[in-house]
Chains A and B, each alone.
Chain A
Amino acid sequence: MGTIYFDNAATSWPKPPGVLAAITECLADAGGNPGRAGHRLSIAAARVVEQTRELLADVFNAGDPSRIVFTNNATHALNLALYGLLRPGDHAVTTSVEHNSVMRPLRHLETRGVEVTVVACAPDGTLPLDEVRRALRSGTRLLVTTHASNVLGTVMPIGELAAAAHEVGARYLVDASQTAGALPIDVERTGVDLLAFTGHKALLGPTGTGGLVIRAGLEVPPLMRGGTGSDSDRERHPEFHPDVHESGTLNVAGIAGLAAGVRFLCDVGIDAVAAHEGALVADFRERTADIAGMTLYGPEDAAKRCSVLSFNLAGASSSEVAQLLDDSFGIMARAGLHCAPSAHRTAGTFPNGTVRFAFGWFNTADEIRTAAAALGELASWAARKIAWTV
């Protein structure tokens, strides 16, 4: 039994071979602390960091690379943005399909006097734009949405949402955890003010990497303060980018791996990745359309979804199905609530959750065929189980 990895929405696997090599090389040859000294190993580490920053600025068309700050992950980036921008008395608008990395900071900020409006999405995750416009008002500080639901795969129209936010003078923060590297993202063109991304999903880097793009002219107070290697004669934290948001030693080896992942992605082309994953989704939907008792969630329209798919089989719990997929077919999937209880309430799958598949660049049509056949078997097993218990 082989390994079929469909949990790319949690973290991508495998990584391109260059990622492992880049991490090893970095630890061997660029082992200094970036920005803290002038010796060769420190400069080599700083080169790793700054080249990666420039690479990401190109990938996201984000302009000035200093406006990209590295974080440990997307959650860290989202917390930086949310706690930096929202003050007691501020109003924020979000959607009902957000991951807890957005929802939990917002619910905590609510206890500190921030007013939060959650716009309900349709059960397939589609966000009604007119409802967003109704929720936004003069004085709204922030609109924050995911770029694509980590449960339903529904892709949000970020350009239109940015325009809607700007109409009332609000800023727009996008959680691109599921889309950075999987779908083309153009920060300049869409008008997104802040983009939180993770390095270890579709950007194909290692865990412990991520960042936040902050539009030039928007100054966000830091989440943490500390040593930056700059302004070392002062006890006051610097206010200039990127140091303002990068106190403490960065995950240089991880960032080296991230750069290798992004370079691989640029060679392949993000458009090609999106097309490949779109083809896998279409193939999967076609091959599973006739499986009795299988319910697939998320939008029908292929143009409105990414490669994240949620489903259930009648008569079996999501965790049972995921366990059997692993044990009997070697297929790795994630079951349950995917850290997004509100998204499952929206889809009507709370509290039992769903089985989630998320396809990546390294998945193949063969694997889709195997998975569809496995689900056919599991569905009839589950149906027999129902017949047995009735």
Chain B
Amino acid sequence: MDGLITFFASHYALRAEAVLKRGGLSAKLIAGPRDLSPNCGVALRFEYARREHALALLDAQRVRIDGVHRFVPRTDGWRNTEAAEWRR
């Protein structure tokens, strides 16, 4: 799973995990990387290739996200591909 979604609050991460799994996508909660999000809780790993489907599912369930990131092995880190427009 090379995609990562960060959230403002763990509430949304937990809901997102359930929404993606219900939608047949793989998802795994991990400790949120500190350099990507000031949320102390969790972030959600997913298949980046299913990004559009995943984001549509989350949007339909009104699950707010902070940002979407992709793991690029050569640069040894996560790259932010899409920051949410909404931020508090």
Q: Which residues of A contact B (CB under 8 A)?
A: 34-39, 42-43, 46-47, 49-50, 53-54, 64-66, 228-234, 238-243
Q: Across the interface, do A38 and B29 meet the contact criterion of CB distance under 8 Å?
A: yes
Interface centre among A36, A50, A54, A233 (most CB of B within 10 A): A50
- The A-contacting residues of B in range 21-80, CB under 8 angstroms, are 29-32, 38-43, 62, 64
Q: Across the interface, do B9 and A37 meet the contact criterion of CB distance under 8 Å?
A: no
Q: Across the interface, do A42 and B41 meet the contact criterion of CB distance under 8 Å?
A: yes
* Minimum CB distance partner of A53 in chain B: B11
Are A238 and B8 CB-contacts (below 8 A) given A38-B29, A230-B38? yes
Q: Which residues of chain A come closer than 8 Å to B43, judged between CB atoms? A: 38
B14: min CB distance to chain A, Å = 4
**Top 9 closest A-B pairs, CB basis?**
A38-B31, A35-B10, A233-B38, A50-B14, A35-B41, A230-B9, A229-B40, A243-B9, A230-B39
Q: Across the interface, do A47 and B9 meet the contact criterion of CB distance under 8 Å?
A: no
- Bound Cα distance A241, B13 (Å): 13
Q: Number of B interface residues, CB 8 Å?
A: 21
Are A43 and B64 CB-contacts (below 8 A) given A50-B11, A66-B12, A229-B10? no
Interface centre among B8, B9, B39 (most CB of A within 10 A): B9
Q: Across the interface, do B11 and A37 meet the contact criterion of CB distance under 8 Å?
A: no
Are A231 and B88 CB-contacts (below 8 A) given A50-B11, A64-B62? yes
Q: Which residues of B contact A (CB under 8 A)?
A: 8-15, 29-32, 38-43, 62, 64, 88
Interchain CB contact (< 8 A) of B8 among A54, A65, A231: A231
- Bound Cα distance A35, B37 (Å): 13
* Minimum CB distance partner of A66 in chain B: B11
Q: Which residues of chain B come closer than 8 Å to A50, judged between CB atoms? A: 10-11, 14-15
17 more A-B residue pairs beyond the given contacts A42-B41, A46-B11, A229-B10, with a C-beta to C-beta distance below 8 A: A35-B10, A38-B32, A46-B10, A46-B13, A46-B41, A49-B11, A50-B10, A50-B11, A50-B14, A53-B11, A54-B15, A65-B11, A228-B9, A229-B41, A232-B38, A240-B64, A242-B9
- Bound Cα distance A37, B31 (Å): 6
Interchain CB contact (< 8 A) of A229 among B9, B15, B88: B9
- Bound Cα distance A230, B88 (Å): 11
Number of A-B contacts (CB under 8 A): 82
Q: Which residues of chain A come closer than 8 Å to B30, judged between CB atoms? A: 38
Are A36 and B38 CB-contacts (below 8 A) given A230-B9, A242-B9? no
- Bound Cα distance A220, B41 (Å): 24
Q: Which residues of chain A come closer than 8 Å to B88, judged between CB atoms? A: 231, 238-240
Interface centre among A42, A230, A233 (most CB of B within 10 A): A230
Q: Which residues of chain A come closer than 8 Å to B14, judged between CB atoms? A: 43, 46-47, 50
Q: Which residues of chain A come closer than 8 Å to B29, judged between CB atoms? A: 38, 43
Q: Across the interface, do B12 and A36 meet the contact criterion of CB distance under 8 Å?
A: no
Interchain CB contact (< 8 A) of A231 among B31, B32, B38, B62: B38
Q: Across the interface, do A39 and B31 meet the contact criterion of CB distance under 8 Å?
A: yes
- Bound Cα distance A112, B51 (Å): 52
Q: Which residues of chain B come closer than 8 Å to A242, judged between CB atoms? A: 9, 11
Interchain CB contact (< 8 A) of B11 among A39, A43, A234, A243: A243
Q: Which residues of chain B come closer than 8 Å to A228, judged between CB atoms? A: 9
Q: List 9 A-B contacts (CB under 8 A).
A: A37-B31, A39-B31, A42-B41, A46-B11, A50-B10, A54-B15, A66-B12, A66-B15, A230-B39
Q: Across the interface, do B39 and A231 meet the contact criterion of CB distance under 8 Å?
A: yes
Q: Which residues of chain B come closer than 8 Å to A238, judged between CB atoms? A: 8-9, 88
Q: Which residues of chain A come closer than 8 Å to B15, judged between CB atoms? A: 50, 54, 65-66
Q: Which residues of chain B come closer than 8 Å to A239, judged between CB atoms? A: 88
Q: Across the interface, do A232 and B39 meet the contact criterion of CB distance under 8 Å?
A: yes
Q: Across the interface, do B10 and A34 meet the contact criterion of CB distance under 8 Å?
A: yes
* Minimum CB distance partner of B33 in chain A: A38
Q: Which residues of chain B come closer than 8 Å to A54, judged between CB atoms? A: 15
B84: min CB distance to chain A, Å = 12
- Bound Cα distance A241, B8 (Å): 10
Are A35 and B31 CB-contacts (below 8 A) given A230-B38, A240-B64, A240-B88? no
Q: Which residues of chain A come closer than 8 Å to B10, judged between CB atoms? A: 34-35, 46, 50, 229-230
- Bound Cα distance A234, B13 (Å): 20
Q: Across the interface, do B38 and A43 meet the contact criterion of CB distance under 8 Å?
A: no
- Bound Cα distance A182, B62 (Å): 30
